[in-house]
Amino acid sequence: MPHELPPDPSPILDLIEAFRTSKIMFAAIGLGVFDRLEKAPATVEALARDLGMNRDALERLLNACAGLGLLARTDSNYVNTPAAAAYLCRQSPRRLTGYINYSNTILWELWAHLEDAVREGTHRWKQAFGQEGPIFSALFRTEEDKREFLLGMHGFGLISSPVVVAAFDLSRFRRLVDLGGATGHLAVAACLHYPSLRAAVFDLPGVVPMAREQVQASTVAGRVEVLAGDFFQDPLPEADLYALGRIVHDWSEDKIAALLRKIHERLPPGGAVLVAEKLLTDDKTGPRWAVLQSVNMLLCTEGKERTVAEYTALLQAAGFRHIEARRTNSPLDVVLAVKDGK
């Protein structure tokens, strides 16, 4: 009888070391490796001296970063790869460092309590940090915390927003209001893509200065307003198209249902809402980004990722009748729901 080969252990072995690869990147950012190398390539001796690190330990970290494609070796010097220069350096306009540091200092602690989150079905803010939340008060404990987190999300937005606004033909709409629009990346991307569109970013007062800074730096600043408000509590600005980018997955069904009804009531006939989230497959086992993010939502918010059918049900309950979804190759997919015309 032929000997039966065991199953391929690679998926298990890869997962055993997965957290190590994340932590290597987190630590290298926190220790200032990429920022120092962006000034000039350097040897391990020079880096250890400049950063105040143990030479042997730092060399191990640098070599691991090189093995992960974050650094390259040229003779005895280390140098940032193009991806590291774009996304892992604090001086880059496309940096993701704010979100990466948030992952290291906050999400890392929350994920340590995943077993309890699954047992109880609630986020872990109190267990990890001694507070109930809400999430954004924890994120914005200092002005620097707030700025870095928002710029990290801005980096994500620069990747996804141009794809989101092009997923459907939105040229018939005249005014877009991005609810919870943060730094305005989606509003700017929409105005760049649609020359006749005007837009507004509507977010909490504490976010407004950052939004104005980023909008003013764009070439469409004259067509993008920045307005302060709470979309749960305050009247919504006038629009024939509202956007909810990475908003719906933060909240419970009850809160989202109320917000969607509020949007539907405020829209004129033929107006629409654009929902940008990563869509789960119908059986909820993929794609990888979405299933991992849904667990992340369990740990740090009231919400979750959803399927097209689940978004359709929420939107129909709010009064929308014409609903279509598009999957993209970016971090976000798109659902467009249109209010009945006259």
Model confidence at 138: pLDDT above 90: no
Q: Taking a C-beta distance cutoff of 8 angstroms, is the pair 37, 51 a contact?
A: no
The closest alpha carbon to 176, from 193, 202, 194, 199, belongs to 199
**Per-residue model confidence (pLDDT) at position 92:** 94
Q: What is the pLDDT of residues 74-92, one digit of tens each?
A: 889 999 999 999 999 999 9
Which CATH number fits the domain 137-338, given the four candidates 3.40.50.300, 3.30.1490.20, 1.10.3720.10, 3.40.50.150? Answer: 3.40.50.150
**Per-residue model confidence (pLDDT) at position 139:** 58
HSE-CB for 171 with a 13 A CA cutoff: 4
Q: Which DSSP category does 326 fall into?
A: E
Catalytic residue among 123, 249, 264, 322: 249
Q: Rounded to whole angstroms, what are the CA distances from 272 to 160, 227, 260, 269?
A: 20, 20, 11, 9
Model confidence at 119: pLDDT above 60: yes
Q: Residue 288 is encoded by which pair of tokens? A: 């990888």
Question: What is the domain partition of the chain in residue ranges?
Answer: 10-87, 137-338
H/E stretch holding 211: helix 208-216
Strand spans (E) along the chain: 71-74, 77-80, 175-179, 198-203, 224-228, 241-245, 272-277, 322-326, 333-338
d(CA 67, CA 81): 12
Which CATH number fits the domain 10-87, given the four candidates 3.40.50.1100, 1.10.569.10, 3.20.20.70, 1.10.10.10? Answer: 1.10.10.10
Q: What is the pLDDT of residues 208-264, one digit of tens each?
A: 999 999 999 999 999 999 999 999 999 999 999 999 999 999 999 999 999 999 999
249 is catalytic: yes
Model confidence at 168: pLDDT above 90: yes
**Per-residue model confidence (pLDDT) at position 142:** 78
